[in-house]
Structure 1
């Protein structure tokens, strides 16, 4: 097996487990906080929101910092640091004796993140052009699938093994990711002069600022769209099923449907991006995702919603690999880690922003408007991508063909 392919599968496993570790706490958080001695429902809701959101906010801050370290010291050391650190911190959450200890550990978890950034940079810089789209498409499924399936896994472990065991099992999986990374990931790394530049100097050195910013915004909007339904999915399923049985199971399956579809679609659409151009895939995927959100507001059964969420995952599967392909193409190799770090920050902010947006829109206007607002964001982003990205790269492609 080629080294780049072995690195890909080891990184895929590590990113999937990291995604699970970041999100598996969501369904068990209120129960665990109650277990830690908080019994007031309002206080439980406040502490749950803080403990869940703080990890993603802090991750958004530290992701570019670890991206710089990856460019300076190599990607494998960052993989080892992040996987071992996450294994220890998540495992320690099972020993928390107070809600503030849990929140502090969630903050620390966000601080030591960086596994996904280092993986993406490693695969982007060490995979040949012929396989880059497929490799980045495959890799992109890991983090999103882990994040979307994580709540279901967390709920299953908590229900069948216990609240504390959900942290211990996830920590053990991250320790396995650390061991496999140490044994099987190979990197030929040479530091370049630009690796020592500061953040401002890095941005000045980025040659395609407008395109890069458009890609950051697109990745942010995508993650907002994927996570906007998280706060309301259980309530919506309860409404659709008429307060029937297995609400938690149906909600978990519905939320995870887009993650499963992403696993199916992303490698294939990443390969397609190599053939016809990533900018074309991004535009079509944004329009398709925006349109698929609209009928979700009119479904009458949980199964109809599940099918539409699956279709959304198929459309969204074309976005992440295409964004990563274009980031790689327009970014100098010495800056790749930091630029991917900024892109990952946009994703973390989108995860947090999506959850906040969905909850606030549902509270003020009603659940159905969450889907309308999210659809509007995606379609507006598609218009912006058409003018700022698609037309620019299409003109360059046509010019290159005539030379």
Structure 2
């Protein structure tokens, strides 16, 4: 496989980052409206948790079932199809007020995002391997940038127009993105010539370490995204303050995620993630026991700094552990495992918060994160050396 690693190649990735950032913008806009769904549409906390969880489940199905096709040369179809499906889902959310209809639309939004992400990450991994950590981190920064802007836009549109306006705005943005991607080169290196079962990836010990670290990270995502708006609403925060808090949570990740990916490639992913995940655990514990809105927002900013290192380090751990012919499948598996964990966490979050409160919710989530991290450390010896490797190479997927 011939790889172009010139600086111009690295710079040319920004249009792909914009695509993923735009999808994340719509994804993030939904979470800041959860309290509005409860107050204006009468959805319960448990129903809100289920709506979020269904999106995670859809992403899981898409990434497990579809990511492998990016390795076989279908990146174009996955990217175009994913954006189009997300567009239709936003239009659907703008025209409904029933739980089951929101649930169906959320499912397709998760599916569209899940189909697109691994395909674009394969482009980054195969075109510029020496800088994959930085590039994956930069893609993560664009994702977070979209997540920062989405809540602000959604909050303003919902506050000054109506609850439908954010979804119509995002549908219009996705239409522009869909027209734009026809101009992009969606080639992604040599494609696999044989069908390699995804389950073979589980034979790679360091890849399993990265999966467990990802499990800890996505537990945070599932719990935080499902409970944060409701938690602050219960403490008296307005919709705009909730939107601002989500933006402030994500803001430090924008400049730090590329650096986090670069550091993980230089030092090794498992020399970075144990510290960043434990920092996030401490923040999660604070959320359950502090009742001052601005203190919680300040702690969430510190939490974002830790996540800026965890997120790209986890993706890098998977990228350097998997064979190139399964690059997208491995990224899809990583994302899918994380999404199903986040989905389970979302369902549990709604029920636990409704019945036992914030203390039980965030304490339980912290315990789960520590257990997952312990497993990642036990399996992660080969992810502790320079460039993310020890002197012993990971076992091949076919072994």
Q: Give the drift of 1:266.
A: 1.0
1:301 aligns with 2:292: yes
The partner residue of 2:369 within 378, 381, 388 is: 378
| TM alignment of 1:152-301, pairs within 5 A | 152-187=152-187, 189-194=189-194, 196-197=195-196, 201-204=197-200, 206=201, 208-237=203-232, 243=236, 246-299=237-290, 301=292
1:13 aligns with 2:13: no
Rounded to whole Å, the distance in 1 between the matches of 2:289 and 2:47 is 33
TM-score, L = length of structure 1 = 0.83
Q: Give the drift of 1:71.
A: 1.2
Rounded to whole Å, the distance in 1 between the matches of 2:77 and 2:10 is 17
- Between stretches 142-151 and 57-66, larger displacement belongs to 142-151
Rounded to whole Å, the distance in 2 between the matches of 1:124 and 1:71 is 12
Contact 1:289–1:378, Cα closer than 8 Å, also in 2: no
CA pair 399-229 structure 1, distance change in 2 beyond 3 A: closer
Rounded to whole Å, the distance in 2 between the matches of 1:191 and 1:392 is 26
Rounded to whole Å, the distance in 2 between the matches of 1:99 and 1:279 is 41
Kindly tell me the number of residue pairs found equivalent between the two proteins. 384
Rounded to whole Å, the distance in 2 between the matches of 1:102 and 1:53 is 12
Rounded to whole Å, the distance in 1 between the matches of 2:44 and 2:231 is 21
Secondary structure of the equivalent of 1:83?
helix
Rounded to whole Å, the distance in 1 between the matches of 2:149 and 2:62 is 24
Secondary structure of the equivalent of 1:181?
helix
Rounded to whole Å, the distance in 2 between the matches of 1:99 and 1:292 is 32
Q: Give the drift of 1:30.
A: 7.2
Secondary structure of the equivalent of 1:397?
coil
TM-score, L = length of structure 2 = 0.84
CA pair 110-388 structure 1, distance change in 2 beyond 3 A: same
Rounded to whole Å, the distance in 2 between the matches of 1:213 and 1:125 is 21
Q: Give the drift of 1:28.
A: 3.8
Corresponding position of 1:124: 125
Cα offsets for 1:117-155 (capped at 9, x unmatched) = 1111211121131x2211111112333554566444323
- Between stretches 155-164 and 168-177, larger displacement belongs to 155-164
CA pair 152-361 structure 1, distance change in 2 beyond 3 A: farther
Contact 1:149–1:259, Cα closer than 8 Å, also in 2: no
Q: Give the drift of 1:239.
A: 5.9
1:397 aligns with 2:390: yes
CA pair 97-261 structure 1, distance change in 2 beyond 3 A: closer
What RMSD, in angstroms, separates the aligned Cα atoms of the two structures? 3.0
Rounded to whole Å, the distance in 2 between the matches of 1:105 and 1:207 is 32
Contact 1:117–1:337, Cα closer than 8 Å, also in 2: yes
The partner residue of 1:318 within 299, 305, 309 is: 309
Q: Give the drift of 1:302.
A: 1.8
Secondary structure of the equivalent of 1:258?
helix
CA pair 157-183 structure 1, distance change in 2 beyond 3 A: same
Contact 1:52–1:106, Cα closer than 8 Å, also in 2: yes
Corresponding position of 1:366: 357
- Between stretches 356-365 and 336-345, larger displacement belongs to 356-365
Q: Give the drift of 1:170.
A: 0.5
Corresponding position of 2:53: 53
Unaligned runs of 5+ in 2: 1-6, 394-399
Rounded to whole Å, the distance in 2 between the matches of 1:53 and 1:11 is 27
1:327 aligns with 2:318: yes
- Between stretches 104-113 and 344-353, larger displacement belongs to 104-113
Contact 1:10–1:185, Cα closer than 8 Å, also in 2: no
Cα offsets for 1:342-366 (capped at 9, x unmatched) = 1111232233233333333333433
CA pair 152-57 structure 1, distance change in 2 beyond 3 A: farther
CA pair 394-387 structure 1, distance change in 2 beyond 3 A: farther
Cα offsets for 1:91-120 (capped at 9, x unmatched) = 243234865444433333334441111111
Corresponding position of 2:4: none
Contact 1:3–1:186, Cα closer than 8 Å, also in 2: no
Contact 2:60–2:339, Cα closer than 8 Å, also in 1: yes
CA pair 357-214 structure 1, distance change in 2 beyond 3 A: farther
CA pair 319-342 structure 1, distance change in 2 beyond 3 A: same
CA pair 398-60 structure 1, distance change in 2 beyond 3 A: closer
Contact 2:123–2:189, Cα closer than 8 Å, also in 1: no
Unaligned runs of 5+ in 1: none
CA pair 144-218 structure 1, distance change in 2 beyond 3 A: farther
